[in-house]
Structure 1
């Protein structure tokens, strides 16, 4: 059956690195990885370097297109950032993907300033979620302040000199009052989150988040693998983030291995698994590129949408 994607195995994709230099150190890579992820330098060389090369070509082409448009209109508008969206399930490794790409893309000479914003900052505060009775649906589309998010992206794409995004704390599991992340006209803005490829919520919706993207990536894996990664991460967090006396999840720090597996599996089945199947996975085919991971977190296949 015909596919809108060109499907490349790992060897085919790796060959597209061409002569792209490796511009990341072992120490940097270690600092970019998630709690239970182990991304090798081989993975960077074979998967992320070809991807950074592809994105660099897209950024260059987009910059030329903007310049052509300004020449035609006779204008000198403010610099417009290239916006890259990264979507995928909880625990699939999209945050690590975003951080690695941010580092690699910032080493290219034609776009050295690369910012990263996560959609967590656009979640409604816990008090609002509680008032609306959707605290257990945190991460579902309705838990985000979409109008605020759309305005943020619109301002960034319009070349506004400074645009601020709210800050979210995973320690407190809530928006941090009076703290902001300021974006100042980067060359590239990476936007990472669960639902960044969501279609309109209603027929009357005028704009959606992905309307502002110049390129989009979906990080994919089998659900059974993602569940395993989620449970492993939950167990590890007992000795790290959960053990902090200020942590919202402090109550989980003393769980035994058996109890932790039971609690984490229950959370997945009641919340994250439902969100994946109902809201996140259906957006996969909206992405320009899909990274398909195997059980060991390494990418096995890449799907690139045909132009």
Structure 2
């Protein structure tokens, strides 16, 4: 396997990434681009930036399907005593996510729908993202797109290209803690979540950079507009 191409998240890198995404749009058939990385690395920020820029040039031809839409329901996690581990690989419907990617690739004559995760209700909402037949590129982002464990190891073969987002560890933890504070309102709990469960998940994700097409060296040069994942 060839070493991934490394790009910085600056104006030059952004233009190069846009160009790569446009090549996928212009390819035959429908393409799926996966953007992976550890919690807080900036996957959501970069995915949403890419989606918004492409949508202005290619209306109704771009869709964004976050892996977070496949969180298991909060009520189910609580009934199984798993709520403190939310965000770990087994707290997602990985089989359902793989099935959705396969459907996205195969079903190009009818509109299909994907779920999203809403932090304000701490749960996934079904049927929130429409993918019409004319969609040429689907961007999907999440922690475990390149995880070499069942069922996640079926994801990569469904993707046309994968980007892995890296961010300085101290900055990543700072952003994660700040994000948790938006919902927990308790600094000690927010820090414990960022350095506990999130950090365990980050270590699982780290090896994915070697299996990606591109590694994006994220920086603080661009103001984040998304959730920062």
TM-score normalised by length of structure 1: 0.64
Distance, in Å, in 2 between the alignment partners of 1:47 and 1:170 is 30
1:280-291 alignment, distance < 5 Å: 280-291=205-216
Distance, in Å, in 2 between the alignment partners of 1:283 and 1:136 is 24
- Deviations along 1:129-157, one digit per CA (max 9) or x if unpaired, are 22333222212111111221122111110
- Runs (4+) of structure 1 exceeding 4 A deviation are none
Q: Does the aligned pair in 2 maintain the 1:88–1:193 contact within 8 Å?
A: yes
Aligned length: 220
Cα offset, 1:98, TM superposition: 0.4
Give the equivalent residue in structure 2 for 1:46. 12
Give the equivalent residue in structure 2 for 1:118. 66
- The equivalent position to 2:192 in structure 1, one of 246, 262, 266, is 266
Distance, in Å, in 2 between the alignment partners of 1:101 and 1:210 is 20
- Deviations along 1:47-76, one digit per CA (max 9) or x if unpaired, are 21121112223443x32xxxxxxxxxxxxx
Structure 1 residues 174 and 5: alpha-carbon distance in aligned structure 2, compared to 1, 3 A threshold? closer
Cα offset, 1:112, TM superposition: 6.0
TM-score normalised by length of structure 2: 0.84
Cα offset, 1:115, TM superposition: 0.6
Give the equivalent residue in structure 2 for 1:195. 144
Q: Does the aligned pair in 1 maintain the 2:39–2:201 contact within 8 Å?
A: no
Q: Does the aligned pair in 2 maintain the 1:152–1:164 contact within 8 Å?
A: no
SS for the counterpart of 2:196 is helix
Structure 1 residues 168 and 197: alpha-carbon distance in aligned structure 2, compared to 1, 3 A threshold? same
Specify every segment of 5 or more residues in structure 2 that has no aligned partner in the other structure, as ranges. Answer: 223-229
Give the equivalent residue in structure 2 for 1:103. 52
Higher relative contact order (CA 8 A, sep 6+): 2
1:156 aligns with 2:82: no
Distance, in Å, in 2 between the alignment partners of 1:206 and 1:219 is 18
SS for the counterpart of 1:106 is helix
Cα offset, 1:213, TM superposition: 0.6
Distance, in Å, in 2 between the alignment partners of 1:291 and 1:53 is 14
- The equivalent position to 1:141 in structure 2, one of 89, 93, 96, is 89
